[in-house]
Amino acid sequence: MKKILLSAIAIASLTQVASAADTIGEAFKNGTYSTKARVFYFNRGFDAPSTAENAQALTAGGIMKYETAALNGLKMGLAYYGSHRLGGLYSRDEGKGTSILGRSGEDLAFLGEAYLEYCFCATGLTNTTIKVGRQQLATPLIQNHDLRILPSVYEAAILKNKDIQDTDIELGYVQSYTGFTSKDNAFLDFNSKWGEDGLAYISLKNSSIPNLSLRGQYIQAISDTDKAGATIAVNDYRYVDAKYALPFGKKTYIKAQYGGNAYNVGEDSTMYGAKVGTSMGMFDFALLYDKISDNEFKAVESGPMYSDWQQGYGNYEPSEAFGGQIVAHPMSGMSLKVGYVDVAADDGFARDDFSEMNVDAKYAFTDNSKIRVRYSLKDQTETASREDRDDFRIIYYLNF
């Protein structure tokens, strides 16, 4: 990644040398600044007889970002990522398990984005861009997973093209990232999972067929071994989903998804699922199903499964899940979602054997200001290796 970044910086320097000083100045003068601020309260409680420690924290932070205007197709972006404990209501030790502070309860503070982005407009390839450096990603299996106060971010090189009508193609190389919700507080290479040379992927979106949208992604570990020479578990990650708008009712649709992994040692995994939904009045309704077979299904960093509302980043045991949700829109700017899912682990597995109820309420005061309240109750079976728990969150968002 360092070689890639140095090459990109060299290209930027050559471009700037070829430009007049006032033109470079305009690129910075006409750049854009943005802040995505948040105040986040999180409380996680474990039910007896669990010995796990409850966790709670109150923090403020978010993302402060500056991006230059394009100069000969080239622009630069920098962003500060932070989450800072508010007051003395809760200790650092209490904050360790919240994922809105670091693993030891420390504040999060790091350079989350630092990239160069180039559009090949001058060459006639107006629909092709390349972005190199620290950045957020938005693919089915590698995404920012914005569940807490900070998203996950990556050190990557990404090439995007939109030349084919109604089709987005993305080629990527990912070397390191900040972990789930950036709680690692630094960019780590995760070579014991991804291999010593990182991951390469292709991701596609297509909407050329009326009422049908398709997405797919394939990720390959470039090396089968980590830096210590040990064989990594997963060789590849694959995923595809489809959504079809049905020609009756209001916002009626059907979705289907398929995914899986090729393992270097052991059986491959398979995941598939379906979801149907419709709307009546101020209510949206949906039913869903997911099934994982043979081996654990692993994503890099995402929550692609219809039945997954909480985890989204870990290993999913062979299991079968049924669920449903109702979303109410009682007034402009307000929504209230209630969902339930029941997950039954296959014989020989016990961790992912639970039921979960989830409530998610949102209200937008203005286009730039909103509040969100979430509650989930996870009830593990007696044989499960995880504990019963309930999560409560209040988040205030302010963007400017």
Q: Where are the domains of the chain?
A: 1-232, 243-400
Whether the ω angle into residue 210 lies within 30 degrees of 0, i.e. cis, is: no
Contacts of 99 (CB under 8 A, 6+ apart): 42, 147, 148, 180, 181, 183
pLDDT at 116 over 80: yes
What are 183-221's pLDDT values in tens digits?
999 999 999 999 999 999 999 999 999 999 999 999 999
pLDDT at 313 over 70: no
The pLDDT, as a whole number, for residue 224 is 96
What are 23-37's pLDDT values in tens digits?
888 988 899 999 999
Helix, strand or coil for residue 162?
coil
pLDDT at 124 over 90: no
DSSP secondary structure letters along 281-312: TTEEEEEEEEEEESS-EE-SB---STT-SS--
Would you state the structure tokens that stand for residue 104, as one six-digit string? 């030891």
Dihedral, 293, 297, 303, 305 alpha carbons, nearest 10: -10
Query: What CATH class does 1-232 carry?
Result: mainly beta
Specify the length of the chain in residues.
400
* Distance of alpha carbon 273 from alpha carbon 242, whole angstroms: 11
pLDDT at 305 over 90: yes
pLDDT bin (cut points 50, 70, 90) of residue 384 is low
The domain 243-400 is classified under which CATH number: 3.40.30.10, 3.10.20.30, 2.40.50.140, 2.40.160.10? Answer: 2.40.160.10
1-232 and 243-400 share one fold: yes
Better-scored residue on pLDDT, 351 or 219: 219
Mean per-residue pLDDT for 92-117? 95
